[in-house]
Structure 1
């Protein structure tokens, strides 16, 4: 195979595996903070049990995110040295800011969050947990700033073929950054929402229900029900921004081959890139123009306007529909779950519905990866949109070497992914009901004992 294609596949594999875990930790950090706060506020031992369980999931996800993130830096040196040579003046500082202001913040307070519960005061432990949660979001801020700049570059000048920053404010807050940041944070929230509700549903199905299970189920469905409409609105705004700055990407996503007014919204089609047409197309007339232009007769520029400079159509066309389809399933399960709860309560949720929620546990990953592929493949043939072509910055490595390392990465990542899911499954199924605690241990947080120190509650409850 073409070494350039192999190098792109290897980078895609690395980023696909890596992005799974920050997508969980970004929102899960705030969720475990909420659980800890609820326990301190109510004194209910179920909340501290939920905190303990989901902190383990956070730590496991954080560890795999760090390990897989290390390999990402190797990619720039082994397969893409031209990128850092040409755009390193922008990429280097932004990556450095992420390490200095976010990763060190997370790593520094993670130890207190995980192991300091009985070694520091309740307030310090709560602050450490909040700091870790803030660090995960700050990390997303810097990484998405760089990625957004690669999609919509701003605040730069080119001297002797090298990109230099002239306005760091414009570089960081480039035209697509606010939309991408909001879209990603909401995606992380939805990923965690369905992980919470899916694992809880699995516990109910397997007879491993714990005192905190229904609380976590309710929390997950509440987050999902609130965030999915916000994600739909954010996605619409993001699409309008993409139409303005990357119209070729939109044309590929919608399968618009020639510029036309009143473009239909294709629900399904088989794009034929050689014939430059859609086969077996099923669509709604004028709806694409209405959504993108807010005008049923609005004009959508077709791929013919970007000859030689537009992305491949099939990955974007199908990736976008997978992302939207999973989002619609999330809407159905989140709102449907709440309707069933109000009708019959958690104890009478239909088993079919619980199975559906369990199968949706990692649906956020599917939507995230599909959306990420639309974003990244949609930038092609450029690595920095409109400035640097991908082919210009790739290393001239033999295809056999890239293929061998690609196979090695794929094998290790598959094993790690299976182990990760199996570990969560095992923890969820492990029956560990809370041991009875004395009334004094579970006293109201207003009481002096529980307000001063949570350690006695934890030690007696989990002795």
Structure 2
């Protein structure tokens, strides 16, 4: 239990815990916001009330996730000042301003139009309401852009130099457009959308299996399936591009992702490790299942490596990632889930083409519906696993190659950090079960089909013209 007296380990645990918990909520809101834009657009185009009721129903789950995300995300920013003050002093001129952009440019846009999206159906013109919904979606996904820009800069710092331990910005746009930024933003955008699609599809499948509003939720199921047909294979391709950038810019992380201890020279064939048991003490894998000559194909779509793949032994233990097994299996969990979701999508698409997803036949697809229900949480696992690979694999650096994590932590008493970590665990546990409770209530109640349609004047409050005659109630 020595870690309980180590400020660095406790601060890392606290940030990891708050980040992993917080990530659960914006992952759904950013993707679901796009779905809300789709269904409201279909409502405006077709005037089919089902699409209107879809927008009203799913927006309840949206705002629940939004609220929990705000509550759980706020403490993360404060940790840069409390637990990671030396880091903030060193890179605050750039890193702090990018986080400020996320708050003022993205969060405020989302929060500012959220009220119109939720409560403005009978109060504003339908076109204005649709613009508000679009602004909410843009704000939510703009947050993804700025957060991934900031984190990508930690992976591949650019746009300036470190002078006496402080980052001096020379080209602000070059810092924003650092080598990791574009592919990282794309990968995360697709991850949030894919996760949201399978959550919406899984909930829709649950209603269909329960024979509740089958025709209604068959519509939402086929909407998310139509989008998933494009998104799920694209995500695998962009994920491969993200792995390629690790290959070129972060060789220590790639070696940990593949539990590769020995260097593979350029021009060689190499086996790919499917499963293994990495042992950091002996610096090898105790056992391993490999696919012969597959590594170059997986990494570069070639039969031989064009560049060497450096093994972990090329670096001293203090200069390479720890917890190699965690990084190795997190990467495989993320990648495996991506292929599972593609498989479920392909089976669903085939059944759709066969006419098995019509309103009359969809109830007969029991195992397909069950598979979508099981897939609902898989996107979360993939996202969390990806962030573990991204951040744990970056160690021992906070800013890759520039600032070591041990030099970035504040000089705080370990007991104080342990106390705050314990408080976070308790509060976030309450938030988690509260979200499950209220989310399950929303799902159990289902959509409200008696909500007035926009423009239905009989449901609007009656305005009294003060100039009209009002009978005098005084005694004659």
Q: What is the TM-score normalised by the length of structure 2?
A: 0.89
Q: Which residue of 2 aligns with 1:246?
A: 250
Q: CA deviation at 1:6?
A: 1.2
Is 2:312 aligned against 1:303? yes
How far does residue 95 in structure 1 lie from its aligned partner after superposition?
1.1
> 2:424 corresponds to which residue?
409
Deviations 1:274-320 (A, max 9, x none): 11111221111221222224333313111112223211211110100
Determine if contact 2:269/2:293 at 8 Å carries over to the other structure: yes
1:224/1:330 contact within 8 Å kept: no
Matched residue, 1:278: 285
Instruction: Select the residue among 368, 373, 380 that pairs with 2:383.
Output: 368
Partner of 2:350: 339
Change over 3 Å in CA distance of 1:342–1:402 after alignment to 2: same
Aligned partners of 2:201 and 2:224 also within 8 Å: yes
Q: Which has the larger radius of gyration?
A: 2
> 1:411 and 1:208 mapped to 2: Cα distance?
36
- Shift of the alpha carbon at 1:435? 4.8
SS in 2 for 1:455: coil
Cα distance, 1:357 vs structure 2: 1.2
CA distance in 2 between counterparts of 1:22 and 1:226 reads: 22
Aligned position for 1:287: 294
Number of corresponding residues: 445
Residue 379 of structure 1 is matched in structure 2 by 394
User: C-alpha offsets along residues 185-233 of structure 1, whole Å, 9 cap, x if unaligned?
Assistant: 0001101110111001111223333542111111122222211110111
Query: Equivalent of 1:151, from 148, 155, 170?
Result: 155
SS for the counterpart of 1:271 is: strand
Q: Does 2:27 correspond to 1:27?
A: no
* Contact 2:218-2:357 at 8 Å conserved across structures: no
For 1:290 and 1:211, the matched residues in 2 are separated by 45
Aligned with residue 43 of structure 2, among 39, 43, 51: 39
Q: In structure 1, list runs of 5 or more residues that go unmatched.
A: 442-453
Q: For residue 425 of structure 1, report the CA deviation from its aligned partner.
A: 2.6
**CA offset digits 1:47-80 (Å, max 9, x no partner):** 0111001111111111111111111112112211
In 1, distance between residues paired with 2:350 and 2:439? 28
Question: Does 1:324 pair with 2:324?
Answer: no
> Deviations for 1:242-287, whole angstroms, at most 9, x for unmatched residues?
1111011111101110102423221111111111111221111221
Contact residue 209 and residue 363 of structure 2 kept, 8 A = no
Q: Distance in 1 between matches of 2:177 and 2:230?
A: 27
> Normalising by structure 1, what TM-score?
0.92
Moved more, 400-409 or 29-38: 400-409
Q: Structure 1 59/286 Cα, relative in aligned 2: closer, same or farther at 3 Å?
A: same
CA RMSD of superposed structures (Å): 1.9
Q: Any stretches of 5+ residues in structure 2 without a counterpart?
A: 461-476
